[in-house]
Structure 1
């Protein structure tokens, strides 16, 4: 899915509004999310394998009950299949790739059998140099592999509207397949396929999916997770 012109203008305007919302709510969400992920990690049983979603507010299911977000829906599907996997939600509102790299060690205290990397969107919205963003993504993957060579890594691709210029937006989109190819990891081409830029599937901020939107995102990512189980 690519943003059409109508959706792009809508999405660009609403993204700028959403960034201000992030700044005001980030500390509160960070505290809450840290508590949630700490509890999840503590409760992980030794005989259960771990699926770790490591990302930003999209992973954290900003604005809705985390159980209704795509990470929570993954746990529900896992449970329905009777599989011994525990999903850990490592989403943090406002997170950049640099921030993710700095907090990664805490999440690697236990081995994740599947690691879903969903970062970069906030870098793009803030106009961070893409060489820096790409470098951070590569370093995150390297750090996971260095400690746990057998961990299966899935990279969630993202797209942004051209508010930073069309060249930047195009380079941003192409960055994900380049990282996936360089590090030989599984790529989800676009996490928000059939959701991004569609008003009725997003909260009023225009950035975060509604419960219905998260259901669609889950169906996008599940085949990639399923093939690694």
Structure 2
């Protein structure tokens, strides 16, 4: 099999995965991972995401957000992780929920992993961008450092829509001076064996790679424990 053919097959699997992801994320039952209470006087690290951060279809405690707590401890960063991710979440849902989360947890860092559901439902990009801008702004006004996590979608609504959706993450990160993970599923989407039988959601085996993608941008934002 030549290189071009392998690349076409990889791109085809990627499009199939993303198309299926759109159906599942848009129709998923709104179930959330229970938020972990802040431990002692540790600053909170809040994750506001969708099913890719909510341990969809895998055992509790094996998702990348759960692994993040272990990584923080190992690297001597004294934070308490609060996973406020919900399967099927949109940016309007995240924007609506965030004020209460900020009030309750007073996070030092907020990771925002939202937007794919908006685009896969064909929501206007201006609306998604405005919601994400509000989320980032609200978190920053509350004193939190923000890490924005980007996503890609299939060209269901045309290549222009697809590219502008992907670009809005870097645009917002630059505008709001927030850190950016360009694509959460980098180094995962090309590995079909790392997906559940639905061929949509990553398995537990893929979670360390998801964490690595986030960690490279998150680590510079953290403060070491005394």
The two structures have a TM-score, normalised by structure 1, of 0.86
CA contact (8 A) 2:148 2:173 kept: yes
Give the number of the structure whose residues are more often helix, by fraction: 1
- Measured in 1, the distance between the counterparts of 2:27 and 2:113 equals 22
Which residue matches 1:26? 29
1:204 to partner: Cα distance: 2.5
- Measured in 2, the distance between the counterparts of 1:191 and 1:220 equals 6
Residue 226, structure 1, aligned to residue 207, structure 2: no
Aligned with 2:86 (options 73, 83, 92): 92
Closer, same or farther in 2 for the Cα pair 1:14/1:190, shift >3 Å? closer
Which residue matches 1:156? 149
Listed one character per residue, the Cα deviations across residues 27-54 of structure 1 (whole Å, up to 9, x for unaligned) are 4x24xx3xx11xx13xx13411111111
Give aligned pairs, total. 215
- Measured in 2, the distance between the counterparts of 1:142 and 1:117 equals 12
The two structures have a TM-score, normalised by structure 2, of 0.87
CA contact (8 A) 1:8 1:162 kept: no
- Contiguous gaps of at least 5 residues in structure 2: 1-6
Alignment of 1:36-185 (within 5 A): 36-37=34-35, 40-41=36-37, 44-109=38-103, 110-146=105-141, 148-149=142-143, 151-185=144-178
- Measured in 1, the distance between the counterparts of 2:203 and 2:88 equals 18
Closer, same or farther in 2 for the Cα pair 1:163/1:52, shift >3 Å? same
1:213 to partner: Cα distance: 1.3
Which residue matches 2:4? none
- Contiguous gaps of at least 5 residues in structure 1: none
Q: What is the SS of the residue equivalent to 1:72? A: helix
- Measured in 1, the distance between the counterparts of 2:166 and 2:20 equals 22
